[in-house]
Chain A
Amino acid sequence: MTDLANSIAADMSVRRKRRPRRGSRTERRFAYLFVLPALLLVLVFRIIPLFWGFLLSLTDSDGINPAEFIGAGNYVTMANDPVFRDSMVNTLLLLASLPIWIMVPMLLAILIHQGVPGGKLFRAVYFFPAVLSSVIVGSIFNVLLRYDGSVNAFLKSFGFSAVDWLGSSSTALGTLIGVQLWATFGMSLLIFLAGLSTVPKDMLEAARLDGAKLWQTWWYIVIPALRPIIEFVAVVTTIGVLTSMFGLIYVLTAGGPGTATTLPEFLIWLEQGKMNRPGYAAALSMVLFVLMGGIAWLQIRIMQRNANL
């Protein structure tokens, strides 16, 4: 398979040398025509708004009166805004839980790959919650996690006392993270399984013949071979927790109690709509952008490497 790929690649490089790099005029014209819709959509709805948003963040825009330039005013307000500070603390707590988000699916993937009885079924079932909308997941868990809900009834049957999962500010964020983890670990698990299929089998066989224990093969062969996949999952998960928890917060906690589950993306939405402070919301957006920009850049580098362009 690799031989075939190599010979094709060699073939192509020879041909590239023979033909002009820029292509004929019609080829160029059509090429631009073909990428134009994609480029235009991305420019109009994402890239231009990003710069526009930065300008807006320097104004006191309230959606009604003409906006005035106030320089870094919004950023100063932000530094003194307790809600913003809480949302940053919540973000840090969320990011601190990342090792769990990576290790749980990795461990399960290795076990399935290792041939746990029922592995194929587990794979299909574990991924199932990931296809459900966060609204569906949130609405169901909202009932399950009520004080008199199934989860507490289950705990009580084992003699534990009931917990106010979503109503108490000490447990709400942990519960939210738990639900999101439950809903998405299957996604990372699939990525790990795909990566595991590339771990050289003969190397494992050889190690086993030399008397290596199962866990030793994990530690010395499987996990090092998975390194690029771990990187990828780490990046994707980080972006995921920073930008795809809106739906869950929206139906499960609405950011509360107090600010216990207010994350930046939810705060931006609140300030934009309910508080009607577009200028301030735009400034919050910039902070979120800087926060995830570096991480996303890593992801693009990985994707670009994989696309072989």
Chain B
Amino acid sequence: MAAAGRKEKRALWVIAIPMAILALSCVYPVFFAINNALKSNKGYILDRFGVVTEPTFDNFTQAWTRSNLSEYFLNSVIVTVGAVALLLVVSSLAGFALASLRFPYRKFIFVVILASLMIPVQVVLVPFYQTIINLGLLNTHAGLIISYTAFFLPFSVYLMTAFYSGLPRELIEAARIDGAKLLQVWWHVMLPMGKPALITLGILNTLYCWNDVLISLLVLQSDRTLMVGIAALRGEYTTNVPLLSAGIVLAAAPIVIIYIIFQRQIVSGIAVGAVKG
């Protein structure tokens, strides 16, 4: 970027102040949740805004055991891991075919898959719910895994197709001349070559699945995922803010850890949607 003049540099410093306040507001709620999770209920009522003085971990153990968060946590882990694995396999297979193989209606199929972006779950809420019931998938982990895959799939297929179409075709040709079957080409060439895109998709889809509420509310009614559990916890314990805060911290922790570790991949994954990477 062109060098800013001295006056302009000073202006940038001045602008940095409101920007820093905005940045503080972005982390304050997390501080707020952790701070309150460490207070006892009485401690919270006596001093709602102060920094915790006598930290206690009782809220965490209570939320984890008595409020069933451990069970919800396990549900969320099962469906997230299952859905992400399925999403990666399905989208890289489809991306391979759409980008590197030649067959009639290739473009049409690509457009159909992308067009489903126009159909979010709210638009098909009733018939989608009926479909889940008719297929016997209501209240099953498999049902939620399949639902997540269906609803988060188009972007993944798009990204894999875009990524694979940037790879030189010689790779596939060479493997095929060696007599490899196409499934082997996918396994031995396309999956390893697609690693950067697959990692990005893996992380982004983990966020989407872990954070979802609506699909989970519909498909898993007798059981709960963590986010639905937190929403319920909020309804049951409106007055016990420390307990609720502990639940929030437990539910957000995995995502916060993933964000800190994979920040670069998440950032580039978001950017890729706008400017093809």
Contact = CB atoms under 8 A, between A and B. Distances in A.
Nearest to B5: A214
Interface of A is mostly: helix
Nearest to B159: A307
Interface string B176-187: 000000110010
Contacts of A233: 274
Given A49-B128, A134-B211, A191 B113 contact: no
Interface in A251-273: 251, 264-265, 268-269, 272
Interface stretch (A80-88, A93-101, A167-175, A295-303): A295-303
Nearest to B105: A32
22 contacts: A23-B101, A37-B94, A45-B124, A46-B119, A122-B20, A125-B26, A133-B210, A133-B213, A136-B248, A140-B32, A208-B2, A214-B4, A229-B275, A247-B211, A250-B214, A268-B125, A285-B126, A292-B118, A300-B115, A306-B275, A307-B161, A308-B162
Interface of A: 8, 12, 15, 19-23, 26-28, 30-32, 34-35, 37-39, 41-50, 52-53, 56, 61, 108, 111, 113-118, 121-129, 131-144, 148, 150, 153, 182, 186-187, 190-191, 193-195, 198, 201, 204-205, 207-208, 214, 217, 229, 232-233, 236, 239, 243, 246-247, 250-251, 264-265, 268-269, 272, 278, 281-282, 285-286, 288-289, 292-293, 296-297, 299-300, 303-304, 306-309
Interface string B188-213: 00000000000000000001001111
Interface in B192-248: 207, 210-214, 217, 227-228, 230-231, 234, 241, 244-245, 248
Given A134-B211, A304-B111, A309 B122 contact: no
A132 B258 CA distance: 11
B125 A28 contact: no
Contact of B23 (A47, A121, A198): A121
Given A31-B97, A304-B111, A289 B123 contact: yes
Given A124-B263, A307-B162, A53 B182 contact: no
